[in-house]
Amino acid sequence: MAEATAVAPELRPLVPHLTLGATREEDYLNGSVCKNCGTKYVGPRLFCAKCSSPGPFDTVKLASTGELHVFTIIHQATPYVKAPYIAAIVDLDGGGSINTNIVGIEPKPENLQFGMRVKMFTEKVSEDNEGNSYVAYRFTPA
């Protein structure tokens, strides 16, 4: 009978459009840019929503800063998610928009402004049964 070999636990991004660097400060969001019109998107694309082109697309490193475009405060969530929290769409500097959570600020409407500057950071958020760690991105006021 063959013995199972132990595999070293890995550090993995929680979503495919997050690229992990050697340190959390080197992590970044990856995206696509339409070679026809220059529109940037988070993650891979097969079709451009702006110019209706099927591509081609180049892979790009997206900005880690941007502006708060829209937000909502979630007051009721699943049992393992602490509420209230801020769910938002951030327009990234240089192009692209991303769904995210805003943290580091009390989730009250008076603490948020459309257009406020935010910056991305990453952190370990969970671990699976094999010891693999998962890293997610969030945004905080700049």
Alpha-carbon distance of 32 to 61, in angstroms, equals 8
The per-residue pLDDT for range 72-97, each reduced to its tens digit, is: 999 999 988 899 999 999 999 999 99
pTM over 0.85: yes
Q: Confidence band (pLDDT; 50, 70, 90) for 6?
A: low
Backbone angles phi, psi at 121, to 5 degrees: -145, 165
The per-residue pLDDT for range 86-128, each reduced to its tens digit, is: 999 999 999 999 999 999 999 999 999 999 999 999 999 999 9
Domains of the chain, residue spans = 11-141
DSSP 8-state secondary structure symbol assigned to residue 92: E
